[in-house]
Amino acid sequence: MSTKLLLVGGGRMGAALLGGLLNGSWADPGSLAVLDTDAGARDRIAAAHPGVVVVTEPVAADGVVLAVKPDVAEAACRLLASAPPPRLLSVAAGLSTARLAAALPPGVAVVRAMPNTPALIGAGVSAISGGETAVSADLDWAESVLASVGSVVRLPERYLDVVTGLSGSGPAYLFLVAEALIDAGVMAGLPAEISRDLVVGTLVGSARLLAESGDAPGELRAAVTSPAGTTAAGIRTLEFKAVRSAFIEAVAAATERSRQLGR
Ligand SMILES: NC(=O)c1ccc[n+]([C@@H]2O[C@H](COP(=O)([O-])OP(=O)(O)OC[C@H]3O[C@@H](n4cnc5c(N)ncnc54)[C@H](OP(=O)(O)O)[C@@H]3O)[C@@H](O)[C@H]2O)c1
């Protein structure tokens, strides 16, 4: 069977993509190959996904997904000279399509993506950008791969640093909020487990309400803020502590850091 996709890097993100592709019947297991330099990762992939081809050297494939850490991504691209694919999708943070293309054999169309960690449970959001030689068929292909682990938006590459600072780092901001709220419940006297359950339920329910109602977040906030009520007192404190401004500054700082790392 010819190889439809070679996944270079079968770690957390690579394994999540592989699981999504198989669950969505994107390809038969035997047409998917995983290349990983780590024997433990190869064993985990082989045990979790029987039938998937596990290799230690690049094999010819219709497309490659590059899911290794950014510091080894260019070296991994250079290794593909032995079996150049027609197209490559990179999920390595911060590495531009131009840098990847320079490390690849000539003629490989490059698409770069910024996914986020909810992809690990199929609920990610990714932005994709095509490099200089990528055409719409390459973007369609990349979108079909990433759609297996969540939703996908297409953007010019100049926006990818902002995407990194917003949705790439976004789960960490929300986990920080979750930690703070759980602590707040405990400090106000709730048992830790109950506080956790209440906070997780509140975050999941609020996210679903925001997504499913289509209402603006400000409208949903106003709907639970009665005049002189409890929520108004809480929101007043958050505004006094400049929480809104803190998030704006956090995204700006993460965006700038992404720019620095990509240089
Ligand atoms: N995890 C996320 O949620 C997330 C979110 C957004 C973007 N990303 C991006 O996804 C990429 C992968 O992240 P990850 O968390 O999945 O990393 P990871 O768990 O470390 O997985 C990478 C795997 O690739 C292996 N590897 C290293 N060099 C290789 C090579 N030349 N050829 C083949 N395999 C090689 C690694 O082995 P060793 O351990 O021996 O090095 C490891 O098993 C990163 O660039 C990251 O920026 C991840």
What CATH number should be reported for the domain holding residue 237?
1.10.3730.10
Whether residues 10 and 134 fall in one domain: yes
Choose among 82, 129, 79, 95: nearest CA to 109: 129
Instruction: With cut-offs at 50, 70 and 90, classify the pLDDT of residue 2.
Output: confident
> Three-state SS string across 63-113, please?
CEEECCCHHHHHHHHHHHHHCCCCEEEECCCCCCHHHHHHHCCCCCEEEEE
Whether ligand 1 lies within 6 angstroms of the CB of 55 is answered as: no
pLDDT reported for residue 162: 96
Q: Report whether residue 91 contacts ligand 1, using a CB cutoff of 6 Å.
A: yes
Q: Among the listed ranges 21-25, 49-53, 153-157, 222-226, which one has the minimum average pLDDT value?
A: 21-25
Pick the residue whose CA is nearest to atom 39 on ligand 1.
Answer: 38
Residue 13 CA from chain centroid, whole number? 8
pLDDT category at 263 given cuts 50, 70, 90 is confident
Query: 11: CA distance to ligand 1 center in Å?
Result: 5
**How would residue 94 be classed by pLDDT, with cut points 50, 70 and 90?**
confident
pTM here? 0.91
173 CA from centroid of ligand 1 (Å)? 22
* Spacing of C-alpha 119 from chain mean position: 6
- Res 262: pLDDT: 76
Average pLDDT value for residue range 89-95: 93
* CB of 183 closer than 6 angstroms to any ligand 1 atom: no
CA of 66 to the centre of ligand 1 (A): 8
Task: Specify the number of domains making up the chain.
Answer: 2
**Structure confidence at residue 200 (pLDDT):** 98
**Distance from the CA of 2 to the center of ligand 1, in angstroms?**
25
Residue 90 and residue 41: Cα distance in Å, rounded? 19
Residue 21 domain flag: yes
What's the length of the chain? 263
**Claim to verify: residue 200 and residue 141 sit in the same structural domain:** no
Q: Ligand 1, closest atom to CA 12?
A: 16
Chain segment 3-17, per-residue pLDDT in tens: 999 999 999 999 999
Q: How do residues 62-74 score in pLDDT, each as one tens digit? A: 999 999 999 999 9
Mark whether 17 and 128 lie in a shared domain: yes
Last residue of a domain, one of 96, 124, 156: 156
Same-domain check for residues 145 and 188: no
* Arithmetic mean of pLDDT over the chain: 96
The pLDDT, as a whole number, for residue 131 is 97
SS3 153: strand
Look at residue 161 and tell me if it is in a domain: no
Sorted by sequence, the CB contacts under 8 Å of residue 40 that are 6+ apart come out as none
Are 140 and 23 contained in the same domain?
yes
End-to-end CA distance of the chain: 41
Q: Say how many C-beta atoms besides its own lie within 10 A of residue 22's C-beta.
A: 18
Q: Domain of 136: which CATH number?
A: 3.40.50.720
| Domain stop point among 126, 156, 186 | 156
Domain boundary among 156, 180, 197: 156
Calculate the dihedral angle through the C-alpha atoms of 225, 230, 236, 242, rounding to the nearest 10 degrees: -90
Atom 9 of ligand 1 has which residue's CA nearest to it? Answer: 92
> Is 121 inside a domain boundary?
yes
Cβ proximity of 83 and 55 under 8 Å: no
Containing structural domain, residue 233: 170-262
For the chain, how are helix, strand and coil distributed in percent, rounded to 5?
Answer: 60, 15, 30
Q: Say what percent of the chain tops pLDDT 70.
A: 100
Question: E strand or H helix at 44, and its extent?
Answer: helix 39-48
Kindly state the tokens that stand for 201.
């339920």
> Does 164 map to a domain?
no
Distance CA 56, CA 37 (A): 6
**Residue 223: both structure tokens together:** 């709907």
